[in-house]
Structure 1
Amino acid sequence: MNEKTLNQIALAMVADGKGLLAADESTGTIEKRFKSINVENTEANRQAYRDMLFTTAGFEQYTSGVILFEETLFQKALDGTPFSKLLQSKGVIPGIKVDKGAKDLVGAPGELVTEGLDGLRERLAKYHEAGARFAKWRAVITIGNGIPSDYCIHTNAHALARYAALCQEAGIVPIVEPEVLMDADNSLEVCEEVTNRTLAAVFQELNLQRVLLEGMVLKPNMVISGKKCPVQADRKTVAAATLRTLKRHVPSAVPGIAFLSGGQSDEDATAHLDEMNKLGPNPWKLTFSYGRALQAAALKAWGGNNADAGRKAHLHRAKMNGLAALGQWSAALEKAA
């Protein structure tokens, strides 16, 4: 393990005013996205869509890295350039989603565990050779009646740490993503309690498994009301609760925190990040690692054949989130654009 190199990559991933584009949708997930715009889910269409995103002029000003699905890492742009080389030519770091998805956790109805550790060491060597310098593994924590259990939280934390250690052995920076879902009717307070439990378990496992904290990036949920909660916490409350939770559990050795959007609206995801940076300085860089919140507008504008419109929408959202990562976003800037 080259600790200095891992730290340099992690720092570059959370550089000032930049964040990560999560373009690692599985074939099944992107099919749902394409259905919303009546585009057939073919390899050629997936290639054309990602080509539109990655050839957006200027998006590299606000984007430090892109998380790719395995298919995309080995695909070429429409001009024949491998996508990994295209991104590198713009100073954007290629990354790779390496987990195999969340499956039912044995003996725990309604709870999930992420799989994909078998053969991961060999896959990481292949991904590194193809240009990937960071990876992502998502653990899913569901809030419900009597859940999450400690069993679920600790099983996922253990897998996250095993994945992270294998990544660092391969010279790849792990994004550690424990996501407490926001789909239920729970209050912000319940989300905060579950997120506290989850992060405590994750960092305990990372330390037990000798993961270099300086060579990783955390990708957590924000502390937020469940989607079905009748009373939604305001943006300032979300920002304060999220920072309070992170400061309790995330060591300052971690270079940065790149939030997932978790189903928030585009503008809410941007505004919450901005609010947290306005409350700084913080012990770590706070930035974004958004999928849908960066892509939804671009996907709709692209519509299967309008690459220029898609690029324009993508650049706008990337710029807004880049400003939020500096605490310089405002609703007025959003409207002006």
Structure 2
Amino acid sequence: MNQEEMSARIAAGHGFIAALDQSGGSTPKALRAYGIADDAWNGDEEMFALIHEMRSRIIRSPEFTGAKIVGAILFEKTMNGSVDGTPVPQALIAKGVVPFLKIDRGLEDEVDGVQLMKAIPGLDELLERAKALGVFGTKERSVIHAANPSGIAAIVQQQFEVAEQVLSHGMMPILEPEYSIKASDRGGGEAILREEILRRLEGVPTGEQVMLKLSLPVTANFYRALVEHPKVLKVVALSGGYSRDEACAELQRNDGVIASFSRALLDGLEASMSDTRFDATLGEAIDAIDRASTLKSLP
């Protein structure tokens, strides 16, 4: 797939985006959920080797194909690795899956009800390496905890500034200003967030587009104006702490929005499973998330 074909594939949205991008802070938790205890590894290199093998097993699975998965978000170490001797981005492309790269380096402390992204040193060089490997776009996450207008404005401004840098390299940015589902004022805050994003979209150059990764809204179809905006290639949703069943139930209420799930996709997978059971469990998750994304229905 070339850049144009990847863009068309994401726009059509016949499937969902798998988030395989757990980074240093979240990797131990992901390994524990996979049945690998903290004492099974010693140091970061062994930890990342184990999570890479988990991701490789997922990518190898006959259930993991472009039939229901349109894209996958990778951690940098995963992007730099290989699956059975093939660079991971190319292994994905061979399966009809569009590769993205997580580029954020974690979060600042909370100020004005939000956590901005930390600085991303060496971003231009990283983007060039990613593009050379066949990566289509990026994903960058920050978090909103409260309906603070100045905080939300700052988080959206930062997201669009990073997006501008990504676009300058001919890549597609996924902006992810996650709104914590634990926030008591989420309904009002989502209205502020939507308006700030719409305002910033006006500054995106004609002919350019971005993607948005948002928490599933309190009100169904609340982000329809973003879904239909000509400068938005696709709106995708994170599971954000919901169980798979809860996330799918919320997702199917939002037309035109597809999933970009991580934990809700991987729940139930264990290192000790036989390949047959592993593939069957993964296939059940993929089927459920695909139905909620594209058919807007549940089993």
Give TM class, smaller chain. Answer: 0.7 to 0.9
1:47 maps to what in 2? Answer: 52
- Aligned with 2:12: secondary structure? coil
Pairing 1:97-112 to 2, within 5 Å after superposition: 97-105=102-110, 108=111, 111-112=114-115
Could you tell which deviates more after superposition, 256-265 or 14-23?
A: 14-23
Instruction: Look up the equivalent residue of 2:93 and give its one-letter code.
Output: Q
Q: 1:128 aligns with which of 116, 120, 131?
A: 131
Q: Secondary structure at the match of 1:57?
A: coil
Deviations 1:259-292 (A, max 9, x none): 1111111012112222334xxxxxxx32111111
Please say if 1:247 is aligned against 2:224.
yes
- Partner of 2:216, secondary structure, is coil
Written as runs of structure 1 = structure 2, the 5 A alignment for 1:82-161 is 82-105=87-110, 108=111, 111-143=114-146, 148-161=147-160
CA distance in 1, matches of 2:119, 2:3: 22
Could you say what secondary structure the match of 1:96 adopts?
Answer: strand
Is the counterpart of residue 196 in structure 1 residue 191 in structure 2? yes
When residues 195 and 89 of structure 1 are mapped into structure 2, their CA distance, relative to the original with a 3 A threshold, is same
More helix by share: 1
**TM-score w.r.t. structure 2 length?**
0.87
SS in 2 for 1:64: strand
Deviation at 1:316, TM superposition (A): 1.4
* Partner Cα distance (2:69, 2:129) in 1: 24
| 1:223 and 2:217 matched | yes
Residue correspondences, number? 288
The answer on whether the counterparts of 1:24 and 1:69 sit within 8 Å (CA) in structure 2 is: yes
Which amino acid counterpart does residue 123 of structure 2 have in structure 1? L
Gaps of 5+ in 1: 225-240, 278-284
- CA-CA distance at 1:58 after TM superposition: 3.4
8 A Cα contact 1:17 1:323, kept in partner: no
Does 63-72 or 305-314 show the bigger shift?
305-314
**Alignment root-mean-square deviation, CA:** 2.3
Give % identity: 23
Q: 1:194 to 1:109 in 2, by over 3 A?
A: closer
| 1:311-335: CA deviation from partner (whole Å, max 9, x where unpaired) | 22122111111122223533xx3xx
Alignment-derived partner of residue 44 in structure 2: none
Q: 2:74 aligns with which of 68, 92, 96?
A: 68
Structure 2 unaligned runs (5+)? 42-46
Cα distance change of structure 1 residues 29 and 52 upon mapping to structure 2, 3 Å threshold: same
1:57 maps to 62
CA shift at 1:295, angstroms? 1.0
Structure 2 partner of 1:293: 264
- With normalisation by structure 1, the TM-score equals 0.78
Is the contact between residue 212 and residue 236 of structure 2 (CA under 8 Å) also seen in structure 1? Answer: yes
Change (3 A) 1:297 1:15: farther
